[in-house]
Structure 1
Amino acid sequence: MATSSRSASTPGWPVSGAQSRPPAAQGAGGWTWALTAPLLVFLAIAFLGPVLLMLARAVSDAELPSAWPQTAQLLRDWDGNGPPDDRLAAALGTEILAARRAGTLNRVANRLNYDLVGSRSLVYATGDALERGASVRGFADLARIDRRWINPAVWTAMRHAAGPRTSFYLLASVDRRLDGDGRIVQVEREQAVFVDILLRTFLISAVVALLCALLGYPVAYLLATLPSRWANPLLILVLLPFWTSALVRTTAWVVLLQTHGVLNEALIGMGLIETPLALIYNRLGVYIAMTHVLLPFLVLPLYGVMKGISAAEMRAATSLGAGPLTVFLRIYLPQTLPGLLAGMIIVFTLALGYYITPALVGGGADQMVSGSIAFYTNQSLNWGMAAALSLLLLVPLTLMLFAGRYLTKSVPV
């Protein structure tokens, strides 16, 4: 009893509870947030904000409402059954003339032409007629200016573009559109390209990730098992491509793989082939160049995992009678799977966004979604379509990243 009482009265730190932490440690969390807050604010303003604003263009339609506000409101109120009333036609005529004089007619004309080819010429022809003195008091006056105004598809396209929200770009990114009755239908066969491009993008990225895994695993194993005096110079060789532009590396592969390039000339000189091989401007060239560019992104995380594996475990398994293959499959490989999966996910993610390499060493049937996004952003200036394709690429990629994180954590080690 005396011993128990003495133990209870012995001074010392509490053994459990929140009071077991020193006061400095209790306030560390607040200081951490205070120090990282400026970085988080900077990322939100400089990165997250612009990305979200760009992606919002996939579901917003501002061209027609900004140039023709009254017409847009009347189009949203119109049920789409039968020809438009004279009030809508008169408002349209007034705002076409005003937009032509203000220099904003091209934005609306281009937007309508995305939905229905020929709308651009119709809008400009109507604007020219109104500028020459024609007047629009009703639907019949529009029909007299240009007979194409009696086509229901024209008014359906305008109704789709009346905003402020639209499904046009998202539907177009999966080769779908709304018909005159508001039903989702597939676009014409010669216009259905984006689904094929998306599937091709994921296929190329998956094959490149697999090739990097097959080539990078032995390299990472060699680096992890060699003595430091040999492993460090070899690791520098792995890092060397990071110091060279991806454009330069891709151009170098063009020189190596072309019909009369270094590789073909060497094979012919050794008598292994008689005619040059088709190694470039096809899918094979894309695989070779992209695998070379992205291979370090798999080697480095895998090398980090392999360096942390103790050789004593393999020696213990060998001493118990396990053969080399059994030791690799049951002891070594399971411990390296998290690094392998992480490297493949990194390579796959980066490959999805490549467009310079496929454009230089691939053919017309090897272009990826990123190339279409670059085209709509820089050349046609159709930012809504570029945002829809970006969103179409981002959503499955995000799901795959979460799935890869779950698989990485669930791998038994």
Structure 2
Amino acid sequence: MTDSTAGMTPEEARRADEAHTGPMLAADGTPLKKSLARALRRQKLRALGLIAPLLVFVLITFVVPIGDMLLRSIKNDIVADTLPATVETLADWDADASELPGDDVWMAFYVDMWFAAERKEHTRLGSRLNYEQTGVSSLFRKTGRRVDRFDTDVYTDQLVDLDPSWEDPASWAAMLDGPAADALPLTAETWERWKEFNVEEGDAVLEEDVPDFLFTTLYYELNNGAEVDGMSDRLDAAKAAVGEFETVSLQEQFADADEDWLDPEVWKTIQLYSPRVTSGYFANSVDMQLTPEGIEPRPDNQQIYGILFKRTLFMSLVITGSCIMLAYPVAWLLSNLPMRTANLLMILVLLPFWTSLLVRTSAWKVMLQQQGVINDVLVWLGLVADDARLTMINNQFGTIVAMTHILLPFMILPMYSVMSTIPPSYLRAAKSLGATNWTAFWRVYFPQSVPGIGAGSILVFILAIGYYITPEIVGGNTGTFISNRIAYHISSSLNWGLAAALGTILLVVVLVLYWAYDKIVGIDNVKLG
């Protein structure tokens, strides 16, 4: 230290020295600090490039599907997309009243149903609403076949009789491109939808016949006082004459198609599930239901998902416990036998992996049935009477036995990998100090094997809670899991929103249990050897 740096801290001295002599330089003449930062940045980019394919793979195959599942559990676009005008007008309807919606709703619904039927979207909409109210699916299918044959052509005939130019699509285009569009908003909007529909079909709108529903919307707005005075002679004549027109009740037309349209509950269901985001799927997944008054419990005879969730958690814990009890002695034996013998026995542990899961499950179905191998042996030994054979299949017992056998290797392997690293000298040292065999095992050996138990338990529990093939085959009505219901809604009922909500709840339950395990045991203590 020179006189000029006396009394300074080491950091101050270093800075003073750099200011006097300049920063240290690398071989290429750049400051050493800058050169080191550049080299470190290159190493990070190289490491990122090496793991980038794995990150992209995880993002595409894991993160994106989970995000899509979470989105489907609340997404509800089909009602608003299929019945846009109906949803808008129905928003003002009082669902608490016992009266049916007004004429504006029937008018909008007529137009929406025509387009939905032409696009074959009414069946999908009916299937969606049928999840909430039984019978709505057939209601939409029947109406979709009839809506194009409603008696609304009376408005077409009467307007054409007033002025034949109403049949010309070009006259409609000219009229609705001007100020009449503001005076006749429903007709203008319907005309735009008609043009878009023709573009989708590859047709020229000016070459197509003007549909009856356009004449119907025009009559409806003129009859309800649309301000079209002085816009054109045709509109003036039409407005003056509509009061004398022969009319058709759209409500009666829909009632002729199906009387259920006169049930206010149908309209309540449409209004209730018209928002694009809904909590209805989650309400159904916890045995609740969405009503105009809010979320309410379902009747007792319809509450099934709570039972399934409890059964899934309980049986998964039982399966995990049975795997621990069976796997621990096997893993201990493998880790303490000579290597040659242990490797031969390990083949028996891995052998189930070389057999189809369906074959193993079907084998248990054969063995556990009342006329199966196990019952025949028990009868032969005299332990069970021939007319009192045990019922071990299509129940929880059969599911536990079959899944324990299938998941047992996933418990043995982590335990074995951890136990094989425990030095035998620890037990000998404990015994030489006076410990009994039990004390040496419980105080010395067992604590060191806990990480293997933890790793195997997490693996087996997570696999068990999501299993559905084995419970479906051997579980019957009392041995199935919530995953079986999720698979049913995905493949059979096609209620993907409810399946996504059930899957989301199952994911949250697993994450909560994982968090609890980390707090109680510590995830850092989990080892695979």
Matches of residues 61-210 of structure 1 in structure 2 within 5 Å? 61-75=76-90, 80=95, 82=97, 84-135=101-152, 141-142=250-251, 145-146=254-255, 147-181=259-293, 183-210=294-321
Q: Over alpha carbons, which structure has the higher Rg?
A: 2
- Alignment of 1:232 with 2:346, yes or no, is no
Q: Determine if contact 1:342/1:408 at 8 Å carries over to the other structure.
A: no
- Alignment of 1:49 with 2:160, yes or no, is no
- The one-letter code matched in structure 2 to 1:161 is Y
Match in the other structure for 1:217: 328
Distance (whole Å) between structure 2 residues aligned to residue 230 and residue 40 of structure 1: 41
Cα deviation for residue 199 of structure 1 reads 1.0
- Alignment of 1:259 with 2:276, yes or no, is no
Distance (whole Å) between structure 2 residues aligned to residue 39 and residue 411 of structure 1: 26
SS at match of 1:184: strand
Q: Determine if contact 2:150/2:253 at 8 Å carries over to the other structure.
A: no
Task: Normalising by structure 1, report the TM-score.
Answer: 0.87
CA deviations 1:158-180 (Å, max 9, x no partner) are: 12321311111111011111222
- Alignment of 1:38 with 2:53, yes or no, is yes
Q: Determine if contact 1:338/1:408 at 8 Å carries over to the other structure.
A: no
Indicate which of 420, 436, 443 corresponds to 1:307: 420
Query: Structure 1 vs Structure 2: percent identity of aligned residues?
Result: 40
Q: Determine if contact 2:316/2:464 at 8 Å carries over to the other structure.
A: yes
Distance (whole Å) between structure 1 residues aligned to residue 393 and residue 452 of structure 2: 32
Cα deviation for residue 204 of structure 1 reads 1.1
SS at match of 1:278: coil
- Alignment of 1:408 with 2:423, yes or no, is no
- The one-letter code matched in structure 1 to 2:61 is A
Match in the other structure for 1:15: none
Distance (whole Å) between structure 2 residues aligned to residue 116 and residue 34 of structure 1: 53
SS at match of 2:289: strand
Cα deviation for residue 392 of structure 1 reads 1.4
- The one-letter code matched in structure 2 to 1:371 is N
Cα deviation for residue 46 of structure 1 reads 3.3
Distance (whole Å) between structure 2 residues aligned to residue 255 and residue 149 of structure 1: 52
**CA separation of 1:412 and 1:104: change in aligned 2, threshold 3 A:** closer
SS at match of 1:354: coil
Cα deviation for residue 45 of structure 1 reads 2.0
5+ residue gaps, structure 2, are 1-32, 153-215, 221-248
Cα deviation for residue 269 of structure 1 reads 2.3
**CA separation of 1:62 and 1:46: change in aligned 2, threshold 3 A:** same
Q: Determine if contact 1:337/1:408 at 8 Å carries over to the other structure.
A: no
Cα deviation for residue 26 of structure 1 reads 8.2
Cα deviation for residue 288 of structure 1 reads 0.7
Q: Determine if contact 1:177/1:187 at 8 Å carries over to the other structure.
A: yes
Distance (whole Å) between structure 1 residues aligned to residue 317 and residue 254 of structure 2: 55
Match in the other structure for 1:59: 74
Distance (whole Å) between structure 1 residues aligned to residue 118 and residue 361 of structure 2: 49
Q: Determine if contact 1:294/1:347 at 8 Å carries over to the other structure.
A: yes
SS at match of 2:370: coil
Cα deviation for residue 110 of structure 1 reads 0.9
Q: Determine if contact 2:89/2:105 at 8 Å carries over to the other structure.
A: yes
Distance (whole Å) between structure 2 residues aligned to residue 409 and residue 46 of structure 1: 25
Indicate which of 495, 510, 519 corresponds to 1:382: 495
Cα deviation for residue 396 of structure 1 reads 0.6
Q: Determine if contact 2:451/2:526 at 8 Å carries over to the other structure.
A: no
Distance (whole Å) between structure 2 residues aligned to residue 145 and residue 234 of structure 1: 73
**CA separation of 1:289 and 1:217: change in aligned 2, threshold 3 A:** same
Deviates more, 1:25-34 or 1:59-68: 25-34
Cα deviation for residue 411 of structure 1 reads 6.0
Match in the other structure for 2:165: none
Q: Determine if contact 1:178/1:184 at 8 Å carries over to the other structure.
A: yes
Match in the other structure for 1:8: none
Greater relative contact order: 1 or 2 (C-alpha under 8 angstroms, separation 6 or more)? 1
5+ residue gaps, structure 1, are 1-17
SS at match of 2:522: helix
Deviates more, 1:283-292 or 1:71-80: 71-80
- Alignment of 1:338 with 2:451, yes or no, is yes
Q: Determine if contact 2:334/2:416 at 8 Å carries over to the other structure.
A: yes
- The one-letter code matched in structure 2 to 1:43 is V
- The one-letter code matched in structure 2 to 1:374 is A
Indicate which of 395, 400, 404 corresponds to 2:508: 395
Deviates more, 1:401-410 or 1:89-98: 401-410
Aligned length: 395
Task: Normalising by structure 2, report the TM-score.
Answer: 0.69
Match in the other structure for 1:327: 440
CA deviations 1:359-407 (Å, max 9, x no partner) are: 1112212111111111111111111111111111111112212333442
